[in-house]
A = this chain, B = another copy of it.
Amino acid sequence: MATHKLLLLPGDGIGPEVMGEVKRLIGWINAQGLAHFETEEGLVGGAAYDASKQSITDATMAMASAADAVIFGAVGGPKWDSVPYEARPEAGLLRLRKDLGLFANLRPAVCYPALAEASSLKREVVEGLDIMIVRELTGGVYFGEPKTITDLGNGQKRAIDTQVYDTYEIERIARVAFDLARKRRNKLTSMEKRNVMKSGVLWNEVVTQVHAREYKDVQLEHQLADSGGMNLVKAPKQFDVIVTDNLFGDMLSDIAAMLTGSLGMLPSASLGEIDATSRKRKSLFEPVHGSAPDIAGKGLANPIAMISSFGMALRYSFDLGALADKVDAAIAAVLAKGMRTADIKSEGTTAVSTSQMGEAILKEL
């Protein structure tokens, strides 16, 4: 059996707690002989800053580069609000994305039937919702240069950020999105602001070309990002796969996640290009939720998003789709039995802690 190398980066806040439940799952998979994972662990975010004054060290980056997949918890918290900008906790995550070339961020927004009531939206609007947001993750305003604050004198400063997109960056993310649409309901919606941004004009043009050349069988639609956001709130079930740039993807995927009422449940995958020789790709898996410093260390965190992110690793990095299906089924089963962490607790359900939830999922498996 092949050995898969994982780098675990728990990070800050509830990161270590939810990662604990993934470690338990990995131990079980190894013990059962279903696969063979070798794990290393490293520091990222505030935890790394406390140890090394950097949000991630070169040594940890080297480990990430050598791993078959990175499993990431969450970073940040008020404790690090005033560390130097270049060393802020988020910088560690951004460096991982950029240096590993993880250009494709897959964020499913699924409304678990058992949780439809937890949404602020009406049940009929979100029940059965199943969207996949494909966000470009290594370009755009996140990384474009210049990115500066200049002192102009007279008490005036000027801040500049730059949104840059090249044709190839749009092509490759479009292909990821079209391929996913083919495996789903065959519909792709591309979102940009071509009426205001030149990057939106190019985005629209390139997605249209890739469609015409390679994916005529997929239904393609374009929406402006602002009305796309409106439509997400008004009638989200009209969407199957959405493809959009880094910044719009940040906003829109968070909104889509919130619609489902299942924020503590949603995973994400960040994927690099497939290497022509090894047929492997770099990858990182992280929950959509943040580090939630207010509830850290109390056993209150919901480990499902983290476990489900590991499920995406099984599916997208290790070709263990059947095992991933079993993990998903185990999650659905414990929810059906009424087990709930505090974030999704409602009347008539049973409150469980982080570790009780992790155990219950393992027991289902």
CA distance A257 to B247 in the complex (A): 21
With A155-B167, A255-B233 as known contacts, state yes or no: A201 contacts B85, CB within 8 Å: yes
Given the known interface contacts A155-B167, A161-B198, the answer about A254 and B234 at a Cβ–Cβ threshold of 8 Å is no
CB-contacts of A87-107 with B (<8 A): 88, 90, 94
Does A157 count as interface, using CB distance less than 8 angstroms?
yes
Closest chain B CB from A96 CB (angstroms): 14
Tell me, yes or no, whether A202 is within 8 Å of chain B by CB: yes
A residues 133-159 with Cβ under 8 Å of B? 141-142, 144, 147-149, 152, 155-159
Which residue in B122, B155, B198, B230 is a CB contact (below 8 Å) of A160? Answer: B198
The stretch from A1-9, A12-20, A36-44, A221-229 touching chain B is A221-229
Which B residues are in CB contact (< 8 Å) with A142?
196
- Taking CB atoms, residues of chain B closer than 8 Å to A229 are 229, 251, 254-255, 258
B residues less than 8 Å from A167 (CB atoms): 152, 155-158
A183–chain B nearest beta-carbon distance, Å: 28
Contact present for A166 and B152 (CB under 8 Å): yes
Chain A residues with a Cβ closer than 8 Å to the other chain, count: 58
Say how far A258's CB is from chain B's closest CB, in angstroms: 4
**Which residues of chain B are within 8 angstroms of A160 by Cβ–Cβ distance?**
144, 162-164, 198-199
Residues of B within 8 A of A193 (CB): 247, 250
How far apart are the CA atoms of A13 and B162 in the complex, in Å? 34
Copies of this chain, tallied across the complex: 2
Q: Does A295 contact B (CB under 8 A)?
A: no
Chain A 249-269 interface residues, beta-carbon cutoff 8 Å to B: 250-251, 254-255, 257-259, 263
Interface centre among A166, A255, A257 (most CB of B within 10 A): A255
Give the Cβ gap from A198 to chain B, nearest Cβ, in Å: 5
Contacts of A125 in B (CB 8 A): 120
Tell me which of A165, A254, A257 has the highest count of chain B C-beta atoms within 10 A of its own C-beta. Answer: A254
Task: Give A141 to B147 CA distance when docked, in angstroms.
Answer: 13
Select one of B90, B166, B227 contacting A254, CB under 8 A: B227
CB-CB under 8 A from A121, the residues of chain B are 120-122, 233
Complex CA distance for A154 and B142, rounded to whole angstroms: 26
Q: Closest residue to A160 on the B side, CB-wise?
A: B164
Most buried by B among A158, A201, A257: A158
Q: Can you give 22 contacting A-B residue pairs, CB < 8 Å?
A: A120-B122, A120-B235, A121-B121, A121-B233, A141-B163, A141-B197, A142-B196, A144-B160, A149-B201, A158-B166, A158-B167, A159-B164, A159-B166, A159-B199, A160-B162, A160-B198, A161-B198, A161-B199, A226-B254, A229-B251, A229-B255, A230-B257
In the complex, given contacts A121-B233, A160-B162, A161-B162, what are 6 additional A-B residue pairs having Cβ atoms less than 8 angstroms apart?
A142-B196, A152-B167, A158-B167, A161-B198, A233-B258, A247-B247
Which 5 residue pairs across A and B have the least CB separation, nearest first? A159-B202, A159-B199, A161-B163, A230-B258, A226-B254
